Amino acid sequence: ARDIALPDMAIGLYDWALIVDHHKQVVSLISYHDADARYRWLTGQRAPTQTPFRLTSAWQSNMTRCEYGEKFRQVQAWLHSGDCYQVNLSQRFQASYEGDEWQAFERLNRANRAPFSAFLRLHDGAILSLSPERFIQLENGHIQTRPIKGTLPRLNDPQADHPQADRQQAQKLANSMKDRAENLMIVDLMRNDIGRVAVPGSVKVPELFIVEPFPAVHHLVSTITARLPDSLHATDLLRAAFPGGSITGAPKVRAMEIIDELEPQRRNAWCGSIGYLSFCGKMDTSITIRTVTATQGQLYCSAGGGIVADSNEDAEYQETFDKVNRILHPLEN
């Protein structure tokens, strides 16, 4: 069912931008027209008074534990019949709220410190994304994608020897044959997608099965690179690879059909992509995981995981909470 009244796509054409370099601590104003006039306009702006953000109900999932189990077993049946190799199954959480969505985003940003965070103010709502995952970057003809597949929670118990325990947790993920297999399936899928438009022979995998720590979880990440021919545009690359394989499964089209059949609601912005495409041809995009959609007084936040033949139902169900806890809990306080 489609129950979120927001568009499938939102595009803005901007003739100016403020670019913040957090390493150099420098802010640059880029303007296609009169930069001085734009600067004067910016310095004259004042933040409007906003209603404080707060939840007005508890988070509720769109499926019970029993319903998740039934869907998990349906996926397993398709996997064992050879119909597919991996399916990303998710549950969605919903709560009502009041107040300013930007305040909610600031709260989430402090808790998550995600490299691809983004806030989009739309006509009828807002998108609050705390994504850790790059979808596709294009710069001077060089393509990079960094799919995430494989997750374990961080071990940050203050009563325990958490640095040592957390290092062991990261090593456990690095050595997990199940997570490696899951990651490799998506690497192969993305190599194939990018290979449709890349210079023949240019697709490489310089990094495979790298564990990267985030505030709530460890992720298993791989890197695929390639070159885009001069005759093609960034939009050709997007068309060949969208949506990202890490949040669908493999083979992609069949996995998407299964997701459409099993998940109660359409995903909307979640597991789509947010990014920019410059006039010079540079592009960078994220996968919109760890992302909240706000509209008509309701918040929606989903979390899922890639299910393969040897996945454990309890572990997969818990993984959805491990991923989403850093989103749900900060907004409750």
**Strand locations in 156-312, DSSP E?**
204-213, 217-227, 249-250, 273-277, 283-287, 291-295, 298-307
The set of residues, in sequence order, having a beta carbon less than 8 Å from that of 333 and lying 6+ positions away, is: 107
Q: Which two tokens stand for residue 23?
A: 């390493």
Q: Which amino acid is at 146?
A: R
Q: Which amino acid is at 12?
A: G
Residues in the chain: 333
Nearest by Cα to 149 from 186, 121, 176:
186
Catalogue the active-site residues.
Answer: 133, 149
Residue 148 φ/ψ, nearest 5 degrees: -100, 130
199: buried, middle or exposed (CB in 10 Å: 19+, 13-18, 0-12)? middle
The set of residues, in sequence order, having a beta carbon less than 8 Å from that of 311 and lying 6+ positions away, is: 72, 76, 178
Q: How far out from the chain centre does Cα 61 lie?
A: 19
DSSP code, position 230:
T
